[in-house]
Chain A
Amino acid sequence: MAMTQTVESGAAVRERARALAQTIEQSEAFRAYKVAEAALDADAALGSTLAALQARDQELGQSQAWGGADPTEVRAVQQEWQDLATNPILVAHAAARENLIALFGEVAVGITEGTGIDFGSACAPAGGCCG
Chain B
Amino acid sequence: MSTSGTTIDPSRNGLAAVPERLRELVQALRVAPAIARFRAAEERFRGDEDVRALQARVRACHEQLQRAERANRHDPRLFQDAREAQALLQGHPAVAEFVASRQDAMDLLRDVNEAMTEVLGVDLGGSVRRACAC
Q: Is A27 an interface residue (CB 8 A)?
A: yes
Tell whether, in the assembled complex, residue A111 and residue B25 are in contact, meaning their CB atoms are under 8 Å apart.
yes
| Contact surface of B with A, Cβ cutoff 8 Å | 3-8, 12-15, 17-18, 20-35, 38-39, 42, 102, 105-106, 108-113, 115-120, 122-129, 131-132, 134
Tell whether, in the assembled complex, residue B116 and residue A122 are in contact, meaning their CB atoms are under 8 Å apart.
no
Tell whether, in the assembled complex, residue B33 and residue A14 are in contact, meaning their CB atoms are under 8 Å apart.
no
Instruction: Tell me the nearest residue of chain B to A109, going by C-beta.
Output: B6
Number of A-B contacts (CB under 8 A): 184
Tell whether, in the assembled complex, residue B18 and residue A19 are in contact, meaning their CB atoms are under 8 Å apart.
no
Question: Which one, A16, A24, A101, A108, contacts B18 given CB within 8 A?
Answer: A24
Q: Is A116 an interface residue (CB 8 A)?
A: yes
Interface size of A by CB at 8 A reads 52
Tell whether, in the assembled complex, residue A16 and residue B42 are in contact, meaning their CB atoms are under 8 Å apart.
no
Tell whether, in the assembled complex, residue A17 and residue B25 are in contact, meaning their CB atoms are under 8 Å apart.
yes
